[in-house]
Amino acid sequence: MEKLVIEGGRRLKGEVEVSGSKNSALPIMAAALLTDEPCVIENVPKLRDTLTMAKLLRTLGKAVDFENNTLKIVSRGPVSHVAEYKLVSTMRGSFCVLGPLLAKLGIAKVSLPGGCVIGVRPVDLHLKGIAGLGARITIDAGYIIAKSKRLKGNHLYLGGVFGSSVLATANVMMAATLAQGVTTIDSAACEPEVEDLANFLISMGAKIKGHGGPQITITGVKKLHGTTYRIISDRIEAGTYVLLAAATKNNNIVIKNASLTHLMALVDALQQSGIRVTQDQGKIYVKSNQTLKPVSITTHPYPGFPTDLQAQFMVLMALVPGVTVINDKVYPDRFIHIAELNRMGANIRREGTNAIVQGAKHLFGAPVMASDLRASAALVIAGLAAKGTTEIHRMYHLDRGYEDLDSKLQALGARIRREKE
Ligand code: UD1
């Protein structure tokens, strides 16, 4: 195992390039199961999660070639309908092979993914949607078994207690592309990654309308064909670098290959605090006032403030004088980073589903433990902003979602290195 060692407090400057979106790449890779023809996907970040999905596709019978951020997915014989626990349990994103396998093969056996540190994370909305398309669903020894000779279009409502679900919308939309008749999904997730997936499916010959909004209509077709498609850049990675620039008070970091279109909730919160975020031709600039104001946020499904930037925003507020309330309406238990940030001198307490942040003057380097992907990114920002040395243990979480993070930060002048534990 490796740890990340960061010497904080250095001035950072230069350009950092954002990679392709992880959360687009995972369902889009799964969608390649809907055709026997080759699919070429460009701008795919090389991460532990995309490598895991490539491995899963290989175990299902596809040949996958992953070179220079381009994936070629080709058939090499019949595809298996069984997605094993070994792989699905390591990454929830792999549960979205359920819809494509069922639609293409008429049967799918996919391991239930289980929970993770950010919450229980049920899959009831995935199953409700798939059952709504006429599939018979049973659970056997931790596996979902779904069967249907040909799925049938239906009018479905996919809102849940916590709002819409990104991967449930993705799963059901993929399944509906090959169903008989028209499917309408109400309370569909509006996340840009769902829109990206829909555009990928359309490039394969699917008939989809309304993607990017809360009602998606899919008219089933008999067959989908191969395609070449470039996925969007990663808005969460871009937002992480924006927050890194803001928290480390560096006005000379330029974020390349990114767009603010998908980050308006973050831009608005930062503006209220006194940080101007602007965009010019694919580059993002961040300029902070000397004195920042505390800003409270609540996370919501898109276009609300993203839960995947909540921990990183908390680090910024931990350094702004005054009191901030942070509430996560998407994952109410996603607060494991509080204890680690407090070890670095932050003053944050949890009250029910709120985190109350009392801004401190400085954070101080300390040994800390990464718990999940975005919490780890928050610790990196805290480490760069802090005085002294921070050691982040269990840093493998970061490799799940941030491509070349250490080298990108080194290029900005950060003192950051990996060491063996
Ligand atoms: C995706 C993202 C993840 C992000 C999350 C919310 C990928 C690979 N991951 O995860 O980075 O944090 O969206 O933006 O795209 N829920 C149910 N029943 C379900 C499904 C979800 O109650 O069947 C709940 C969840 O527990 C959560 C909320 O709905 O409280 C939203 O989860 P969801 O949008 O499904 O997250 P994922 O798609 O798994």
Question: Which mutation among 162, 232, 299 tests ligand 1's pocket best, with the greatest number of atoms within 8 A of CB?
Answer: 162
pLDDT for the residue 115: 58
Q: Which of 39, 96, 116, 190 is catalytic?
A: 116
Per-residue pLDDT tens digits for 140-169: 999 999 999 999 999 999 999 999 999 999
Residue 1: band (very low, low, confident or very high) from pLDDT cuts 50, 70, 90: confident
Ligand 1, atom 31, lies closest to the CA of 165
116 carries an active-site annotation: yes
Domains in the chain, start-ordered, CATH in brackets?
Answer: 2-18+233-420 (3.65.10.10), 22-230 (3.65.10.10)
Torsion of CA 208, 96, 299, 291, to 10 degrees: -100
What is the whole-number distance in angstroms between the Cα of residue 187 and the centre of ligand 1?
A: 14
- Most ligand 1 atoms within 8 A of CB, residue of 21, 121, 298, 334 to mutate: 121
Mean residue pLDDT of the chain comes to: 96
Q: Is the pLDDT of residue 391 over 70?
A: yes
CA of 121 to the centre of ligand 1 (A): 7
Identify the pLDDT of residue 144. Answer: 95
Amino acid 113: pLDDT: 86
pLDDT at position 210 is 98
pTM greater than 0.85: yes
- Among the atoms of ligand 1, which is closest to the Cα of residue 236? 11
Per-residue pLDDT for 377 more than 70?
Answer: yes
Token pair in block for residue 377: 């990114």
- Taking the C-alpha atoms of residue 11 and residue 414, their distance in angstroms, rounded to an integer, is 8
Which residue's C-alpha comes closest to atom 21 of ligand 1?
165
**pLDDT value at residue 289:** 78
Could you tell me the distance, in angstroms and rounded to a whole number, from the CA of residue 223 to the centre of ligand 1?
A: 29
- As for ligand 1, residues whose beta carbon falls within 6 Å of it are 23, 26, 92-93, 119, 121-126, 160-162, 165-168, 189, 193, 307-308, 330-331
* Ligand 1 midpoint to CA 165 (Å): 5
pLDDT at residue 116 greater than cutoff 80: no
Q: How far is the CA of 200 from the centre of ligand 1 (A)?
A: 21
Is pLDDT at 265 greater than 80 in this prediction? Answer: yes
3-state secondary structure the chain: CEEEEEECCCCCCEEEECCECHHHHHHHHHHHHHCCCCEEEECCCCCHHHHHHHHHHHHCCEEEEEECCEEEEEECCCCCCEECHHHHCCCHHHHHHHHHHHHHHCEEEEECCCCECCECCCCHHHHHHHHHCCCEEEEECCEEEEECCCCECCEEECCECCECCHHHHHHHHHHHCCCECEEEEECCCCCHHHHHHHHHHHHCCCEEECCCCCEEEEECCCCCCCEEEECCECHHHHHHHHHHHHHCCCCCEEEECCCHHHHHHHHHHHHHHCEEEEEECCEEEEEECCCCCCCCEEECCCCCECHHHHHHHHHHHHCCCCEEEEEECCCCCCCCHHHHHHHCCCEEEEECCEEEEECCCCCECCEEECCCHHHHHHHHHHHHHCECEEEEECCHHHHCCCCCHHHHHHHCCCEEEEEEC
Q: Counting atoms of ligand 1 from 1, which one is nearest the CA of 373? A: 11
Q: Band the pLDDT of 256: cuts 50, 70, 90.
A: very high
185-235 per-position pLDDT tens digit: 999 999 999 999 999 999 999 999 999 999 999 999 999 999 999 999 999
User: In the structure, what pLDDT confidence band is assigned to residue 121 with cuts at 50, 70 and 90?
Assistant: confident
From ligand 1's centre to the CA of 307, what distance in Å? Answer: 10
- Count of positions (residues) in the chain: 421
Name the band, by pLDDT with cuts 50, 70 and 90, for residue 90: confident
Residue nearest to atom 33 of ligand 1 (CA): 165
Strand partners, 374: none
Q: Point out the ligand 1 atom lying closest to the alpha carbon of residue 189.
A: 34
Residue 67 contacts by C-beta under 8 Å, 6 or more apart in sequence? none
Atom of ligand 1 nearest to the CA of 161: 22
The pLDDT of residue 13 is above 90: yes
| Share of residues in the chain with pLDDT > 70 (%) | 99
Atom of ligand 1 nearest to the CA of 124: 23
pLDDT digits (tens, 9 = 90+) for 270-308: 999 999 999 999 899 999 877 999 999 999 999 999 999
* Sheet-wide strand order for 215-219: 155-157, 182-186, 215-219, 207-209
